[in-house]
Amino acid sequence: MKNDNFGKKVVGLIRDNTVPLMFILICAVCIPISGFSLPYLINEIVTRMGRNIFLILALLIPIMSGMGLNFGMTLGAMAGEIALIFVSDWQIWGIPGVVLAMILSIPISVLLGAFCGKILNMAKGREMITSYILSFFMNGIYQLLVLYIMGSLIPIKHFSIKLPRGYGIRNTVSLLNMRQCLDNLLAVRVGGVKIPVLTFIIIGVLCLFIVWFRRTKLGQDMRAVGQDMGVARDAGINVERTRIISIVMSTVLAGFGMIIYLQNMGNIATYSSHSQIGMFCIAALLVGGASVDRASIGNVFLGVVLFHTMFIVAPKAGAVITGDSMIGEYFRVFVSYAVITLALIMYETKKRKHKSLVGQQLQQAQKEADAHE
Amino acid sequence: MNETLDRTNLTLRDRLKAAVESFGLPRLIIAGFLLLLFIAAPFVGSDFWTQISNTLNRFSWNAVMVLAMVPMIHSGCGLNFGLPLGIISGLLGATLSIEFGFTGPLSFLMAIVISTPISLILGAGYGWLLNKIKGGEMMIATYVGFSSVSFMCMMWLLLPYHSPTMVWGFSGKGLRTTISLEGFYDKVLANFLQINIGNLSIPTGTLLFFALLAFGMWAFLHTKTGTAMTAVGSNPTFAKAAGVNVDKMRLLSVMLSTWLAAIGILVYEQGFGFIQLYMAPFYMALPAVSAILIGGASVNKASITNVIIGTILFQGIVTMTPTVMNNMIHMDMSEVIRVVASQGMILYALTRKTEGAK
């Protein structure tokens, strides 16, 4: 009997963690084939952890309030980029530049986040597709701003970032004087592996903030809204406002995350840096075992490690197996999309199963009540 | 007397308001903008008839893909963001037809013949999946499209294609990113009965082909199966009570949509003159989705008229903005306008309240 229970538990555990297990398998196969040395791999993964975790953590709050995966985090990324463009135009470099960019990004993020929240409140039940389309829509507005308005209406002084025609921003804005300034401050080398301690401290602070925030009144409200909007409203929670706040917080955090990401990269690809960021962050989170309605900080860390290991080794492994490096490139793109697809499908089927279960229980209860009469 | 006048006045204004409301403000703005472009075109030195021909041409390329949206909207599956899946089947048909050595108009016919079973099989799988996840169709459709496109990226490299017109010259394997259709079915429909008057040229064949499919769709929607499909979309509970197999209807609509997408991409290719592989189909669903929405469709309601009006408006803006705007303000803002207009339209449709869709 006990054994049976144990077996069931194992099966349940495997079923709940299909995606991470699949990824562990992929990585286990690809790492030896790729032939990368362990220190190299660890170094790469640590770098990518510092680069990406903050961004992914920004996704947690909307999940808490039941708004699903926030594809609108791209909006925050745009805010971060706009702030960085200004700061690099003013030639403020190093840590002060990063801090100033973060401060500058806040009002832009709040504005964009509030707009996003308003729109999503009008599209309850299909937040994800709406936020996804919204990110495309905002990309158009962003292009309008950066390509036409900056330099013509908004003064941009520096010629290194302005297009030769006199207005608009160049395709890449170099952040060379800001490159890895957060990562290098307090960096520690352990056996050839550079650990960006300060970046990890910032990430740690954010993790603590999220843990603390879950226990505050607002955090509890968000969870209540995420559980059931109707019940939350009856309990006197302003559902619309709570949802907007959760998106605003996510957008602001995504803005910060993008600045951390870009200071590590060392340059801004003005028109493409933000476009893929949402997809990769969401894929990484899902790889860590999160689902559309449930995600923890542990999922973020596990996801980053697994997803980026795959990302590093897949092209090389693909090249070794098939003799064509493009296969590996396409493979990792395919896997990112497939993971999101799979997670979305699992979430929807689970939701439907749950719904029908509740229906059956209701029916049962009604039958019993009838029998009593 | 005065009172009645007041009343008629009020009703007139109300009516106007209601008309605007039913037509939708963004739609009005887009139509007005296009009208403005047409009026402005001669003043900035671009030939009116050339513009009309361009718009007509682009209409003929894209209309079938927009038509592919109709069945799924009718059966309540929402906007088919998974259009790339159908496009993939079309691309497979196109490349296989060339690989098997067909040339000229026959290659177009064979491409349709080959892509039909592929699209029906893929569509059946896709429809089965969408039946499992009712209510979350649109998001999952998007990602089914993305996954299939990125999966096929690998396949284009790995599948054993050999035709020298399609594979990379130096390695002898793996398909090229763009394949010219010269000698195959380049403009095969467009050149059929083409009418040329001065600067105006009308691709009659393509338009007729679209008309045929559109008529077929219209006729289908008026058959017993078609009405059952519409019933499933407007009220699934009622349809079930009336003895309609809801899942079967939805499956049928998805298969039909996927097949039309496959035909749609073949029509697009014959007009454009090239097959585009790899990441090209990635975002092809979005223009089709926004076109039908601009035409007056909503998430759960669409007609053939919506398809025609929407495609003309959307493609009109796509063709007119670069030339007219460029000449007017010497700034190429067409890309921004296109993105904002089309995505804005989708956003508008998604934020409307559509009760009874689920």
CB A118 within 8 A of CB A245: no
Which residues on chain B are in Cβ contact (under 8 Å) with A338? 147, 150-151
CA nearest to A132 within chain B: B139
- Beta-bridged to residue B337, according to DSSP, are none
Q: DSSP secondary-structure letter at A178?
A: G
B328 touches chain A (CB under 8 A): no
Per-residue pLDDT tens over the stretch A265-285: 888 888 888 888 888 898 899
A331 touches chain B (CB under 8 A): yes
Among A121, A131, A137, pick the best mutation site for testing chain B contact (most B Cβ within 10 A).
A137
**Burial readout B257-293 (b: 16 or more C-beta within 10 A, e: otherwise):** bbbbbbbbbbbbbbbbebbbbbebbeebbbbbbbbbb
**Burial readout B201-231 (b: 16 or more C-beta within 10 A, e: otherwise):** bbbbbbbebbeebbeebeebbeeeebebbbb
A149 touches chain B (CB under 8 A): no
Cα A236 to Cα B76: distance, rounded to the nearest angstrom: 35
φ, ψ dihedrals at A90, nearest 5° = -80, 0
Which pLDDT score, from 0 to 100, does residue A3 have?
A: 64
Do B351 and A130 lie within an 8 Å CB cutoff? yes
Average pLDDT on A351-363 reads: 80
Do B132 and A348 lie within an 8 Å CB cutoff? yes
Do B133 and A327 lie within an 8 Å CB cutoff? no
Alpha-carbon Rg of chain B, whole angstroms? Answer: 22
Which pLDDT score, from 0 to 100, does residue A171 have?
A: 86
Cα B309 to Cα B298: distance, rounded to the nearest angstrom: 14
Average pLDDT on A326-355 reads: 83
For chain B, list the strands marked E by DSSP.
178-180, 195-197, 200-202, 274-276
A164 touches chain B (CB under 8 A): no
Q: Is A10 exposed, middle or buried (0-12, 13-18, 19+ CB in 10 A)?
A: exposed
The full DSSP string for B301-336 is B--HHHHHHHHHHHHHHHHHHHHHHHHHHS---HHH
Give the CA count within 13 Å in the CB-facing half-sphere of A366.
Answer: 6
Residues in chain B, overall count = 358
Residues in chain A, overall count = 373
Q: Looking at the predicted structure, is the pLDDT value of residue B7 above 80?
A: no
Cα A55 to Cα A80: distance, rounded to the nearest angstrom: 11
**Two tokens, residue A359:** 């229906």
Average pLDDT on A204-231 reads: 91
The dihedral over CA atoms of B298, B302, B304, B310, expressed in degrees to the nearest 10, equals: 10
Average pLDDT on B124-152 reads: 88
- Helix, strand and coil percent figures for chain B, each rounded to 5: 70, 5, 25
Which pLDDT score, from 0 to 100, does residue B99 have?
A: 87
CB A300 within 8 A of CB A60: yes
Q: Looking at the predicted structure, is the pLDDT value of residue B356 above 60?
A: no
Helix (H) or strand (E) holding B46: none
Which pLDDT score, from 0 to 100, does residue B204 have?
A: 86
Among A126, A150, A327, pick the best mutation site for testing chain B contact (most B Cβ within 10 A).
A126
CB A173 within 8 A of CB A88: yes
Do B335 and A143 lie within an 8 Å CB cutoff? yes
Which pLDDT score, from 0 to 100, does residue B3 have?
A: 47
Residue in A122, A136, A340 closest to B343 by CB = A136
Per-residue pLDDT tens over the stretch B241-291: 888 888 888 899 999 999 999 999 999 988 888 888 888 888 888 889 888
Helix (H) or strand (E) holding B291: helix B285-294
Q: Looking at the predicted structure, is the pLDDT value of residue A51 above 70?
A: yes
Per-residue pLDDT tens over the stretch A283-313: 899 888 888 888 889 999 999 999 888 888 8
- How much of chain B, in percent, has pLDDT values that exceed 90? 18
Cα B80 to Cα B256: distance, rounded to the nearest angstrom: 11
Average pLDDT on B89-111 reads: 88
Q: Looking at the predicted structure, is the pLDDT value of residue B118 above 90?
A: yes
CB pairs under 8 A between A and B: 107
Task: State the pLDDT confidence band at A109, using cuts at 50, 70 and 90.
Answer: very high
Which pLDDT score, from 0 to 100, does residue A361 have?
A: 81
Which pLDDT score, from 0 to 100, does residue B8 have?
A: 56
CA distances to B17, B145, B273 from B282, in Å: 39, 7, 19
Q: Please work out, in degrees rounded to the nearest 5, the angle formed at the alpha carbon of residue B233 by the alpha carbons of B231 and B235.
A: 65
Do B135 and A352 lie within an 8 Å CB cutoff? yes
Average pLDDT, chain B: 83
Average pLDDT, chain A: 86
Average pLDDT on B171-196 reads: 81
- Cα diameter, chain B: 87
Which pLDDT score, from 0 to 100, does residue B172 have?
A: 72
Which residues on chain B are in Cβ contact (under 8 Å) with A139? 339
Cα A211 to Cα B83: distance, rounded to the nearest angstrom: 41
Do A327 and B158 lie within an 8 Å CB cutoff? yes
Do B350 and A334 lie within an 8 Å CB cutoff? no
Which pLDDT score, from 0 to 100, does residue B10 have?
A: 61
**Two tokens, residue A81:** 């980029």
Which residues on chain A are in Cβ contact (under 8 Å) with B138? 126, 129
Q: Is A187 exposed, middle or buried (0-12, 13-18, 19+ CB in 10 A)?
A: middle
How many other C-beta atoms lie within 10 A of the C-beta of residue A308? 23
**Two tokens, residue A118:** 């308003």
Q: DSSP secondary-structure letter at B229?
A: H
pLDDT, greater one: B324 or B211: B211
Which residues on chain A are in Cβ contact (under 8 Å) with B154? 327, 330-331, 334
**Closest to B58 measured CA to CA, from B336, B288, B256, B286:** B288
What are the extents of the domains in chain B? Answer: 54-282
Among A116, A124, A133, pick the best mutation site for testing chain B contact (most B Cβ within 10 A).
A133
B187 touches chain A (CB under 8 A): no
- How much of chain A, in percent, has pLDDT values that exceed 90? 28
- Helix, strand and coil percent figures for chain A, each rounded to 5: 75, 5, 20
Residue in A134, A347, A351 closest to B347 by CB = A134
Bin A68: left if φ > 0, else alpha if -120 < ψ < 50, else beta. Answer: left
